[in-house]
Structure 1
């Protein structure tokens, strides 16, 4: 009996359980961004306004973090600043703008599933840019994930036609931009740390979004939104942007990036049900089957360990 007890799998520690909980809650809150954007569109906002208000209201938090962590790591040189500006424009301006534009045409569930393909884009870009090898398991994961997207896309395109094609293309471009951001940020992350990087690139993105608004819309109108728009934008900035970043970083500190990423797989599932509950988006057999395939593919991808030295 004692041998059986001693050979049993160890129970997860409090830190592991709290890390999984933080990662899961962070994924749900971050996925809620699509739901809030859809609600803002119902109040007459467009993508330029949604992203402008999101950045305007969230950036004070990141500036505070940047100030607090300024002396906590290596000195940031001119070349680092140049990379930070480029990463801010790519990862949190272009990617976010394309995402919110796409959400004007497709369901929140399909948007979240397409964005969840970002890890596979990182994998494929690594093959093209750095000649990295892809294992059989990784190919299987891609097959599952893309088959799932095709099922959900087929369901939605029958309802929305060409608008779904346009929206899916915009969100796919958003995922590609963020995959490039992840690939290009590797060296900077190792030098200054992930939290400092996010805290520094967000102000860059905020400036870009505000300049974009000033060029495309009468500048004062950004501050002349209705009370519901301000309220939803505050939720978008805090609960769907700032809070998930800190929750995810805390989770990574407790359980590591791999486990945190796996816990984050709850995000697309939560979006499907939140969209059904808050937006009235239908849940069909094809959507559930496609969601399952995407999650299975990303799970297989997360289980694949990179070779040493990569």
Structure 2
């Protein structure tokens, strides 16, 4: 009974994390309306995030890991921080300069299948029939929801889509890595270490190219940077790690199916992107897919 309750909480935490992460694309697009480049918005995100993770690391400095941590483990943290949050974020932010927020989310949704593939390939975890069925169902809903959007995306869709796909691949590798590193470091410390690595990577990147003066943007851009940092980075980053620890990275990948739908709704509200009946129908199918996974998991406890 306790494990069933834990799984339910893990699913709910995962859904909240995905919704918060989904708001990022909308806020980035809102910031782009002030003619700011992608790396500058990404820099503001990391600048505002950096102090939070430093404070958290300081507060947890005396917490000892529950398992032995080797130098190699720290090297993996650096790798996943570089790949999973720096590269994934960079590809995502640049891709968003070419395509709409709603289309970005549908392409990012490819990463659940990549997570399952990585888990099977490197961690020897089988893909169950339930997972395969739920993935198929949620993809069906996403395809329906975005059918019209794909048809009207414009000439830059290919480049933008390719960059977002690279973001999906790199983020999937991060999710898989967290599955075996989190028990060693703990949720809070691992997330903080990985995010600090990604912040430093962005700082170095910006220092080399510096496309714009950091202090020359309209105040709204700094406001969006702060919101992206706190509500679409710091808070959901810990929620994701917590959810993965409770339900596994494979199941989290399926729960993440709510992401495209939350982006559709947020984009409709803040970016005036129109919702069609097909999109609402697709959203319903995705939600059903997530419920099937959750309820079936409970039945197996």
Is this a same-fold pair by TM over 0.5? yes
**SS of the residue aligned with 2:115?**
helix
**SS of the residue aligned with 2:156?**
helix
Superposition map of 1:201-212 within 5 A: 201-212=194-205
Structure 1 residue 80 displacement after superposition: 2.5
Aligned counterpart, 2:31: 40
Q: Which moves more between the two structures, 85-94 or 138-147? A: 138-147
Structure 1 residue 244 displacement after superposition: 2.7
Structure 1 residue 206 displacement after superposition: 0.9
CA distance in 1 between partners of 2:218 and 2:160 (Å): 26
CA distance in 2 between partners of 1:57 and 1:164 (Å): 30
Structure 1 residue 276 displacement after superposition: 0.8
CA distance in 1 between partners of 2:264 and 2:57 (Å): 34
Structure 1 residue 57 displacement after superposition: 0.9
Q: Which has the larger radius of gyration?
A: 1
Checking the alignment, whether the CA contact within 8 Å between 1:157 and 1:165 is kept in structure 2 is: no
Checking the alignment, whether the CA contact within 8 Å between 2:25 and 2:101 is kept in structure 1 is: yes
Checking the alignment, whether the CA contact within 8 Å between 1:34 and 1:108 is kept in structure 2 is: yes
Closer, same or farther: CA 285–166 of 1 in aligned 2, 3 Å = farther
Checking the alignment, whether the CA contact within 8 Å between 1:37 and 1:100 is kept in structure 2 is: yes
CA distance in 2 between partners of 1:264 and 1:179 (Å): 12
CA distance in 1 between partners of 2:81 and 2:10 (Å): 27
Question: Is 2:63 aligned against 1:72?
Answer: yes
**SS of the residue aligned with 1:223?**
coil
Closer, same or farther: CA 177–18 of 1 in aligned 2, 3 Å = closer
Structure 1 residue 109 displacement after superposition: 2.4
**SS of the residue aligned with 1:44?**
coil
Checking the alignment, whether the CA contact within 8 Å between 1:115 and 1:171 is kept in structure 2 is: yes
Structure 1 residue 229 displacement after superposition: 0.9
CA distance in 1 between partners of 2:293 and 2:287 (Å): 10
Aligned counterpart, 1:308: none
Superposition map of 1:1-310 within 5 A: 24-74=15-65, 76-130=69-123, 132-218=125-211, 221-246=213-238, 256-257=246-247, 261=252, 266-300=258-292
1:2-40 per-position Cα deviation (integer Å, ceiling 9, x unaligned)? xxxxxxx9xx99x99998876554443322111110001
CA distance in 2 between partners of 1:247 and 1:131 (Å): 26
CA distance in 2 between partners of 1:264 and 1:142 (Å): 10
Q: How many residues align?
A: 291
Unmatched 5+ stretches in structure 2: none
TM-score using structure 2 length: 0.81
CA distance in 2 between partners of 1:300 and 1:214 (Å): 47
Checking the alignment, whether the CA contact within 8 Å between 2:11 and 2:247 is kept in structure 1 is: no
TM-score using structure 1 length: 0.79
CA distance in 2 between partners of 1:21 and 1:104 (Å): 31
**SS of the residue aligned with 1:282?**
coil
Structure 1 residue 223 displacement after superposition: 3.3
Q: Which moves more between the two structures, 243-252 or 168-177? A: 243-252
Structure 1 residue 272 displacement after superposition: 1.3
CA distance in 2 between partners of 1:104 and 1:92 (Å): 18
Checking the alignment, whether the CA contact within 8 Å between 1:114 and 1:149 is kept in structure 2 is: no
Unmatched 5+ stretches in structure 1: 1-8, 306-310
